[in-house]
Chain A
């Protein structure tokens, strides 16, 4: 329980850091920390595979790309465009109403609960997850993998040297 509270505390704090940090590089680093705390939560829920994949894909690959782009474009406090007051006002109202809707929707929700007798604590382990993915969700899983493969092949095609092109 104390571990859960600690993780939640760090998660909320670093998520606030993402929004409030002035420097975009700091924002990205806070976001990475947030992903780590989320992985910690997955571990507490006994979902080791999800935790590891979250670290590899989000913290390890996607955030590297974020950081890459921010460093490349040299975004910092000085070059940040300042929004007019009207835009800030509109954003505050939009965000506030979203929060209101979320609170209103979740106010009366009670956890569905689980049956301790039939609950399988190993459900998050990699072999169980594989069984579920390949038996019950085989088609969506394969379609998603084809989508990702197509994206990868596309990037290789974009990177291929065209005839007559010379870079050096």
Chain B
């Protein structure tokens, strides 16, 4: 790789970082607007037009609040917890292919932070590390409610990671690759009638999205923070920006989970009739093939973000619709329903592949 290309790719990494933060910022706003919409209230509308400056006001509030350390807390780990939650959340978006490639002359820019051939495993690893931020923070607070939240987070994440991994295996059996870019490209091939993976893996997708709710600690599975039993759960003792980092990390995790589901099951940056549209640009509009491809790439980028926002809306919709599960119900759902279903899904997928129904 030559240096200019590396420079462009570096910009893509920076842009991914910035977009993750921006989306997390406006998720706090969207959450309240959607809550207000679902509960027939007005919602935030004071700061700026439509309350759009509300996240900025929140940031000012969080940064200027008092930094509080509870008595007997492990100070180093108390700061380390939220930092780790944020770092692992931000790292996981590095391998997500946000778009195909842009080509200017000889420079080809892939709209993806880094392309590695174990991309899916990388995301999975980062997700499994995310629980440390919660566990360390909850333990270091020296508060029994925080500790209970931390312990719940640990057992919940481990239980649902299994079902999530098993649901994923069914997708990988069809794709034969772990690279997220390859999985995306396989879901649409020029000149052929190709389906997105959701058509071939409806059961796997349902298992995956339920596990995604559990892994991101969103209602109905937000047992680690469960304010009716545990005050605030793992972040009971946190204030100011350390609290903000935990909330931010949760929204970034929601964003990444939405992006991964879009890529795995909803065709990623593909959209219907993209090749026909590209050929139409070339034949009827007289554009060069490269320019037409760039337009398609940008449209695909927009399409992927539309899918991601759709999923984020779904996360929030569920949050303000369903009540929280009880802890034993959560564990029973994970171990005795989702895992057997996921194993059944693997067997089913294997059978269908063997008999050539899907490939």
Contact = CB atoms under 8 A, between A and B. Distances in A.
Interface of A: 25, 29, 32, 48-49, 52-53, 55-56, 59-61, 64-65, 67-68, 71-72, 125-127, 152, 155-156, 159-161, 167-168
B73 to A, nearest CB: 13
Contacts of B121: 49, 52-53, 56
B336 A25 contact: no
B336 A64 contact: no
A52 B132 CA distance: 17
B136 A64 contact: no
B89 to A, nearest CB: 14
B136 to A, nearest CB: 7
Contact of B129 (A29, A55, A125, A127): A55
The number of chain B residues touching the other chain, given as a range, is: 20 to 34
Contact of A64 (B116, B117, B122, B132): B132
A155 B155 CA distance: 13
A29 B139 CA distance: 13
Contacts of B117: 48, 125-127
Given A61-B161, A64-B154, A68-B154, A48 B339 contact: no
Interface of B: 77, 116-118, 121-122, 124-125, 128-129, 131-132, 135-136, 139, 147, 150-151, 154-155, 157-158, 161-162, 177-178, 326, 328, 331-332, 335-336, 339-340
Contacts of B331: 159
B253 to A, nearest CB: 15
A127 B332 CA distance: 36
Contacts of B340: 156
State the 8 A-B residue pairs at the shortest beta-carbon distance, nearest first. A60-B128, A52-B121, A55-B125, A68-B154, A56-B125, A52-B118, A48-B118, A156-B335
26 contacts: A25-B139, A29-B77, A32-B132, A49-B121, A55-B125, A56-B125, A60-B125, A60-B128, A60-B129, A61-B128, A61-B158, A61-B161, A64-B132, A64-B158, A65-B158, A67-B139, A67-B154, A68-B135, A68-B155, A71-B135, A71-B150, A71-B154, A125-B117, A156-B339, A156-B340, A159-B331
